[in-house]
Amino acid sequence: MTAPRAAVTTSRSHLPLRPLWLCRACGAPWPCAPAKLALVREYAGSHVTLCLYLSSLLQDAATDLHLLDPHGAPGPGQLYDRFIGWAAHPRPTTG
């Protein structure tokens, strides 16, 4: 069974606009909340792979944002929290 068309369109539209690293759909810093939810679903059962993927994006974002504004770019801690911190510690499942 496939997902309803609206759900597929919504999750795919929350992609990063590079080199600004803002969400194409909502304008929030990427990954925005809908993007995080989509990533968790996409990488369900593969937490390490999700963190490796996010680490590579963090490196790309750090480079892009520094080139755009060397003095105003987010620092390493901010970028870690934004790209990896939310996913670094999986929540325990209940049940």
Any idea where the domains of the chain sit in the sequence? 13-88
Cβ 21 vs Cβ 69: under 8 Å: no
Q: Which of 56, 70, 49, 62 is nearest to 21 (CA)?
A: 62
Three-state secondary structure call for residue 70: coil
The DSSP element (H or E) to which 16 belongs, if any, is: strand 16-17
Q: What is the pLDDT of residues 42-95, one digit of tens each?
A: 999 999 999 999 999 999 999 999 999 999 999 999 999 999 999 987 666 555
pLDDT given at position 94: 59
pLDDT given at position 92: 60
Q: Residues 1-13, buried b or exposed e (16+ Cβ, 10 A)?
A: eeeeeeeeeebee
Residue 54 CB coordination number (10 Å): 23
Mean pLDDT, rounded, for 38-44: 95
